[in-house]
């Protein structure tokens, strides 16, 4: 997929203030407030900014962390992983590989018993669910 490059002004026109804060400024929505935290709907989760497919519902699991959790992206090239040392800790930020929007963070080795032992902890506001059907 071709890279999506837009100015902050262009993103502000396209996104709501909350979407802009999370997707473009690496913000985080409050825990347990996102629309997809408890969603069981079968479908595809895409980037809310550019529409790139990111995750599928069959990799979503209940981590009880307050955000939607997935054990792997749809395609390995769909996301970019970046070291994040903000907030006084070492984490791995997850971004959309197409538009470079912030999605959340990925954590490894927490013992959830998923096939990858990864937890992609993703902000609902960064995603759009297209139900299967």
Q: Which residues are catalytic?
A: 121
Whether the CB-CB separation of 132 and 44 falls below 8 Å is answered with: yes
Beta bridge partners of 108: 118
Q: How far apart are CA 10 and CA 64, in angstroms?
A: 35
Closest CA to 126 of 61, 32, 11, 34: 34
Token digits for 122? Answer: 């993703």
Whether the CB-CB separation of 105 and 94 falls below 8 Å is answered with: yes
Q: Order of strands across the sheet with 79-84?
A: 60-61, 69-70, 118-122, 102-108, 91-96, 79-84
């Amino acid at each position: 997929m071709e890279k999506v490059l837009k100015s902050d002004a262009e993103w502000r026109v396209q996104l709501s203030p909350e979407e802009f804060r999370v997707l473009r400024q690496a913000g985080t929505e409050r825990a347990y407030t996102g629309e997809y935290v408890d969603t069981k709907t079968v479908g595809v989760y895409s980037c809310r900014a550019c529409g790139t497919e990111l995750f599928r519902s069959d990799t979503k699991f209940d981590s009880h962390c307050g955000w939607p959790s997935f054990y792997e992206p749809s395609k390995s090239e769909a996301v970019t992983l970046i070291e994040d040392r903000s907030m006084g800790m070492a984490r791995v930020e997850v971004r959309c590989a197409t538009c470079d929007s912030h999605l959340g963070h990925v954590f490894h080795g927490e013992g959830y018993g998923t096939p990858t032992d990864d937890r992609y902890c993703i902000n609902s506001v960064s995603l759009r669910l297209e139900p299967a059907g």
